[in-house]
């Protein structure tokens, strides 16, 4: 029996020795890797008199965003105390020349979707750390506020309201930084009237890709001013902005109505964005295969006719909700009620679905934050968000709706699908943002949330596949659609995205960031690329 067991015991000992050796080797590799990572940090970078963090917790935080899909770890995170801190960092990398692979990304509140504010192996600048002068509100005939590029819009709202003013154009979610939204466009239900946020800026302070701090406006350094607005962070980091204001209302009459006919829905939307002084906010959303819809609204809205509303059935239908808001002050309530009743009488919605409520101006603008708090409490906020945002020309919106809402999209239970028109005349064509070439175009936003580990229709892979089908249809049908908050894989796709603006985009890049140091997460340029 010994002769049978002894070989096995020897094998066991050999296995244990092998396992120990493997573990030692594995741990040694980790130590070597960490040493290499630390030694790969340029010595000059470590000696800069700046608040640069190299610890794993800071790097891990900077490598995440709201999209929760891409995680590219930087080499360091800068917490700037002043604009010169940002300028010194970029200037240092610029002077290192093309032999250095270091890049820089500005990160605001981390609400990017696809790693756009990340810098693999580079430096992420935490814009919320930027300490600058307090917000300055100026009244008069053309009121404005001067704010930091790292300031949240919700803070700007509260500060300007103290003086009886508020910005004219918003995003639906206010817990975003000024630099972040101005680098894209900043679109919401007020855009039909005042244009996007980039149409409501007077001045900018920008740190370019060579570390130069430049003040600019339409009249002064206008090329850089228009480049940065909607420029996806490619031409400079916005460190300060002068935002136009208007007298602020105190109350909002908030209205929702439903349509089953898409043609009537879009006709009414287009009529409303062309009307004078009808409503101050116009959006819409699509509802597919939802039940008990109106009962859900009753917690926040009141049906004009409760009996009729109780008989309305939404099961299995594709419906379109028109969402409207009228801003007012308390002394105007009687006039506003008459105006709302008059303007609603021109519309072709389903009469039993008229729901109304009155809220404060702040509660209306910050409405999405209420949903955020609820989702966070349930652990449903920090999940993948494979959002898809598109601009669709008015002439193609019916074809788009027929295919996408009638065939590709099966339900809208895992996130809202927004749809509303805006006027191109409110957009400045000199900015970098790419939009369709029609007088009216629609924002269509698929704001889905994926359930982690799900393999069903609410899972990440299914939603990504659905987004791909939508994009392929847009390309195949030659709709002339443009992505908002764009994400493309190749420079050829980016060329198509910018279309006639591409050559100007290249020229501006060579002027303001010739080594392609800035915003590598967008994937438009590689560092040291030739712009000839």
Which secondary structure element, helix H or strand E, spans residue 483, and what is its range? strand 482-484
pLDDT at site 532 = 44
- Tell me the fold of 43-129: 3.30.43
d(CA 309, CA 302): 10
Q: Is 172 assigned a catalytic role?
A: yes
Q: Do domains 136-247 and 251-483 have the same CATH topology?
A: no
Average pLDDT, stretch 511-521? 97
Pair 204, 240: CB distance under 8 Å: yes
Which residues make Cβ contacts (< 8 Å) with residue 473, sequence separation at least 6?
Answer: 400, 403, 404, 408
pLDDT at site 310 = 87
Asked whether residue 462 carries a pLDDT value surpassing 70, the answer given is yes
Asked whether residue 528 carries a pLDDT value surpassing 50, the answer given is yes
pLDDT at site 19 = 52
Q: Is the pTM of this model over 0.75?
A: yes
Q: Is 117 exposed, middle or buried (0-12, 13-18, 19+ CB in 10 A)?
A: buried
Reported in sequence order, the residue ranges of 95-235 that DSSP labels E, i.e. its strands, are 104-107, 123-126, 136-138, 144-148, 165-167, 201-208, 213-217
User: pLDDT tier at 383 (50, 70, 90 boundaries)?
Assistant: very high
Q: Which residue's entry shows tokens 């960490």?
A: 34
Torsion sign across C-alpha atoms 20, 21, 23, 28: positive
Residue among 187, 175, 155, 188 at smallest CA distance from 373: 175
Render pLDDT for 188-204 as a digit per residue (tens, 0 to 9).
999 999 999 999 999 99
d(CA 449, CA 413): 10
How do the domains of the chain map onto residue ranges? 43-129, 136-247, 251-483
Separation in Å, CA 87 to CA 96, 105, 178, 337, 362: 14, 13, 19, 53, 36
CATH number for domain 251-483, candidates 3.40.462.10, 3.20.20.10, 3.60.70.12, 1.10.240.10: 3.40.462.10
Render pLDDT for 475-492 as a digit per residue (tens, 0 to 9).
999 999 999 999 999 999
Pair 258, 285: CB distance under 8 Å: no
Q: Is 159 assigned a catalytic role?
A: no
Pair 494, 81: CB distance under 8 Å: no
User: pLDDT tier at 413 (50, 70, 90 boundaries)?
Assistant: confident
Structural tokens at position 453 = 């580990």
Asked whether residue 21 carries a pLDDT value surpassing 80, the answer given is no
pLDDT at site 15 = 52
Pair 256, 301: CB distance under 8 Å: yes
pLDDT at site 289 = 87
The residue annotated as part of the active site, out of 111, 194, 226, 385, is 111
Average pLDDT, stretch 58-64? 96
d(CA 398, CA 266): 9
pLDDT at site 31 = 40
Q: Could you tell me which residues are beta bridge partners of residue 106?
A: 125
Provide the mean pLDDT of the chain: 91
CATH number for domain 136-247, candidates 3.40.50.1100, 3.40.50.300, 3.30.465.10, 3.30.870.10: 3.30.465.10
Instruction: Return the SS3 of 64.
Output: coil
Angle formed by the axes of helices 502-512 and 491-498, to 10°?
110
The residue annotated as part of the active site, out of 283, 343, 366, 513, is 283
Residue among 430, 416, 428, 405 at smallest CA distance from 318: 405
pLDDT at site 440 = 98
Look up residue 407 and give its DSSP letter: I
Q: Which phi and psi (to 5°) does residue 415 adopt? A: 150, 150
The residue annotated as part of the active site, out of 81, 128, 172, 212, is 172
Average pLDDT, stretch 391-418? 96
Asked whether residue 282 carries a pLDDT value surpassing 50, the answer given is yes
User: pLDDT tier at 1 (50, 70, 90 boundaries)?
Assistant: very low
Instruction: Return the SS3 of 146.
Output: strand
Pair 78, 50: CB distance under 8 Å: yes
pLDDT at site 119 = 97
Reported in sequence order, the residue ranges of 209-354 that DSSP labels E, i.e. its strands, are 213-217, 236-247, 251-259, 281-288, 302-303, 318-328
Share of the chain above pLDDT 90, in %: 82
pLDDT at site 367 = 96
Which residues make Cβ contacts (< 8 Å) with residue 372, sequence separation at least 6?
Answer: 173, 175, 381
Phi-psi region of 208 (alpha: psi -120 to 50; beta: other; left: phi over 0): beta
pLDDT at site 40 = 60
Average pLDDT, stretch 148-169? 98
């Amino acid at each position: 029996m010994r002769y049978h067991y002894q070989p096995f015991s020897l094998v066991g000992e050999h296995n244990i020795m092998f396992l120990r050796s493997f573990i030692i080797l594995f741990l040694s590799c980790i130590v070597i890797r960490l040493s290499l990572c630390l030694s790969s940090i340029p010595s000059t970078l470590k000696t800069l008199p700046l608040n640069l963090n190299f610890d794993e917790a800071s790097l891990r935080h900077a490598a995440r965003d709201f999209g929760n899909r891409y995680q590219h770890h930087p080499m360091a995170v800068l917490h700037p105390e002043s604009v010169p801190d940002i300028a010194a960092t970029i200037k240092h990398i610029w002077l290192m020349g093309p032999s250095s692979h270091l890049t820089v990304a500005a990160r605001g509140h981390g609400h990017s979707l696809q790693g756009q504010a990340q810098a693999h192996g580079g430096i992420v600048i935490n814009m919320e750390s930027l300490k600058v002068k307090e917000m300055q509100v100026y009244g008069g005939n053309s009121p404005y506020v001067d704010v930091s590029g790292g300031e949240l819009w919700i803070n700007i709202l509260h500060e300007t309201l103290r003086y009886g003013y508020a910005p004219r154009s918003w995003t639906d979610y206010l817990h975003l930084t000024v630099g972040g939204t101005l680098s894209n466009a900043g679109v919401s239900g007020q855009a039909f009237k005042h244009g996007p946020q980039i149409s409501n800026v007077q001045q900018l302070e920008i740190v370019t890709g060579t570390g130069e701090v430049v003040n600019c406006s339409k009249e002064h350094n206008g090329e850089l001013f228009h480049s940065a607005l909607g420029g996806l962070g490619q031409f400079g980091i916005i460190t300060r902005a002068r935002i136009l204001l208007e007298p602020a209302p105190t109350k909002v009459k908030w209205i929702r109505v439903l349509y089953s006919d898409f043609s009537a829905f879009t006709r009414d939307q287009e009529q409303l964005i062309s009307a004078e002084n009808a409503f101050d906010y116009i959006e819409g959303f699509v509802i597919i295969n939802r039940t008990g819809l109106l009962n859900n609204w009753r917690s926040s809205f009141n049906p004009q006719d409760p009996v009729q509303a109780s008989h309305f059935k939404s099961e299995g239908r594709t419906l379109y909700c028109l969402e409207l808001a009228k801003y007012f002050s308390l002394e105007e309530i009687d006039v506003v009620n008459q105006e709302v009743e008059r303007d609603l009488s021109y519309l072709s919605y389903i009469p039993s679905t008229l729901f109304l409520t009155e809220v404060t101006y702040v509660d209306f603008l910050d409405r999405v934050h209420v949903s955020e708090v609820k989702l966070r409490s349930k652990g449903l906020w920090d999940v993948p968000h494979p959002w898809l945002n598109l601009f669709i020309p008015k002439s193609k919106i019916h074809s788009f709706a027929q295919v996408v809402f009638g065939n590709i999209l099966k339900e809208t239970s895992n996130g809202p699908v927004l749809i509303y028109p805006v006027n191109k005349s409110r957009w400045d064509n000199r900015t970098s943002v790419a939009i369709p070439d029609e007088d009216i175009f629609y924002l269509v936003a698929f704001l889905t949330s994926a359930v982690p580990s799900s393999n069903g229709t609410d899972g990440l892979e299914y939603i990504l596949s659905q987004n791909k089908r939508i994009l392929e249809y847009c390309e195949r049908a030659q709709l002339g659609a443009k992505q908002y908050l764009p994400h493309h894989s190749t420079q050829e796709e980016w060329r198509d995205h910018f279309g006639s603006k591409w050559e100007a985009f290249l020229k501006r890049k060579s002027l303001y960031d010739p080594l392609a140091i800035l915003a590598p997460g967008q994937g438009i340029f590689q560092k040291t690329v030739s712009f000839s």
